[in-house]
Structure 1
Amino acid sequence: MSMHASEPATGGLAAPQFARWANANEIPVIDFAPLKTGKESAIEAVAKEVDAACREIGFLTVVNHPVPVPMIRDVFAQAKRFFALPEAEKMKLWMGNSRNFRGFLPMDQPVDQRNFAGAAVAGFQQHLAGEKLKARKPNRNEAFQIASELGPDDPAVKAGTPLYGANQWPENLPGFKDSVLGYYETMTGFAALLASLFARGLGLQPDYFAQFYRKPLIQLRLLHYLPHEAELAALEGGDSRAHCDAGGFTMLQQDDVGGLEIKNRAGEWIVVPPVENSFIINIGDSMKMWTNHRYASTLHRVVNRYGRERFSVGVFANPDYETVIRPLPTCVDAENPPRFDEMKSGEALLYLYSRVWPSAGPRN
């Protein structure tokens, strides 16, 4: 279906905003191959490119990254295996059984206001500001989510710290758990590499962010989108409503179907073109605030108008629960005073998750 479809009549309602294909260089493509040389000049050059992209649009595409291609292909194969299970089998892992937002999220899943928790500050997740609780519009996507696998003897779990705990796993899907956890561990390493490049671009020591990622709340989310019958239905139903990610940054693999769209500074929706085996990296609200708004956290959505199933795998690099985010000193000066005092990362993430996902509720 055309990327430039004309806007049909909408019976007096606000017309949906259609997207166009991104032009060359609108979403920077950055080659990580020079990092393999280990040369300081090469690393600094890549960090400078990453920093520029994070300032200008908050999205970039990374090629020649360190994640093995066979591992990428395998995690997509595991996603297809999982989502092909009967609905009753997937619902055994329903996210609403978990206090830590782990497990299966079916289509059209409402939340329960009684489980609202956490706290944020002005400027965090602005698209939720003043929003009243209501079921999501009919959508055509489902998800399966894990985070760090922690047993009951883990100190954070024993202490009852929110968001830490065990994952839910299917019983009759041999190899699935090991493959998905292997990908998760590899992506945790990739997140550390990206964080070191952010630090360099921000005028900090390369290992600066490591102190906030000792027990990170990194999430891995498998996503499955069904196609809509018509482009207008896709926009009105919304596979994922327009939002900014909440955490530090996101590392996304999308298949060749496409569907990811971002809103540029001109207010246009542009389609992020799929690039085989690449990663799309985008900045979240937490990093935006950490950098005193130097880095952009950009609205984005998914619209599957292409007549095929779509799969993607997102890894969300959130820091430790106890991390206190304050404007970085290198991002504050006379022309850019601090935009906020501080934000407790775990409380802010809990604020978001409890408002968009089902939960078994807080511990007694």
Structure 2
Amino acid sequence: INPSMGSILISIVKCEQSYTSFEYLKMKFFRRDHNKMYADINNSIRNFIKSPPDQPDVDRLVKICQNLKNFLRIRQEQIIIYREIPIYFQNVMSENFTDKIEACKEKVGEFKITECMGSLGVGVEKELTILKYLFMGRKAIIEYNLEASVIFLYKVKSLISSWKEICSQQIYSEQKSEETGSTLQAIQAFFIAPDRHVKRGHNSPNHILWLEKFLNNLISKMSLYFMRIFLGRETAMGADVRSLLRRINPDYHSAIRNFRNRHISLVYEITDEPFHENGYNLAGEGSFRFIYSCEDKIPMDHLPKIISIIQENNEKKGASLDKSEPVCVKDQNACYYFIHVEHHVYLVAISERTEKVDSSTMEFITTLARRLDGTE
């Protein structure tokens, strides 16, 4: 292999190791300068194309370099997308993020990355599609759209499964003790799956593991938000909540049931924005719906007080209850713990006894809200 070409490929391998480990998301002090890394490789590719070596397959090498240059451009855009995720977690109803992912996918098609880069290119296309569907699924859950939620999350699960199968056919640096061969063979294996499959078990790259964790959290969240609907269908088939939750991880319902003597519910404030349970938006008291209750009996007798607390806080702050800080309100009959989970969803813990503020309850609902929101 041409030494210059070999140097370019080895540099790209190092960039890929950094990319799949999410190193670019570390604090700036602890991470390498990715802009410089990619700029250096692009300069090397540009010099190679400008002054190609005098050898028989030079046209093929130049074409490979052009494809690598396009691939690096896509990777840089993917890094920008991942770095902007925290922004769009806070603005879930915006479609700017999925539009940005779709624009990147269009460039993948324009550059013919899946055709030119083999299994690596297929992985790029799948990764972008998975990320797009995850955010569309998250939005569908928040809009209480069961059908769309199930469809998007099912698509993600299928895409991750097929992507992991592709990855299982690759040779990774941690397999060096098992696989031997020349540097050229290792570089070739980076782009083209070898004939002999190497199973990686659960040793998937970090970016796949993160996407899987994101998916599992959305599945758990969906099971909680739509539990009343799911249980109705499970009961009709003779099953119960245990069959519904047996493979859910994390199991938010069990965590809630096991937490002290509190009635914990999720309340959805219906507005002009889509709420898909009945196909229309309810008014009055019905515009605040218990979409989840840890007990069979929904605490409807507490609903007037809950609505009053939410509306009073909204009027005082000019916005919804603070998403980061819980609120405790006491009256003669009960103690109410509130936190805003996301958009129009509120987590409410009710203690029938009037008591001093319980710090463990405040901490529990704060942690649960952050996990449901995906920010922890």
Query: Normalization by structure 1: what TM-score?
Result: 0.23
Structure with greater proportional helix content: 2
Structure of larger gyration radius: 2
Structure with greater proportional strand content: 1
Point out which structure has higher relative CO (alpha carbons under 8 A, 6+ apart).
1
Query: Normalization by structure 2: what TM-score?
Result: 0.22
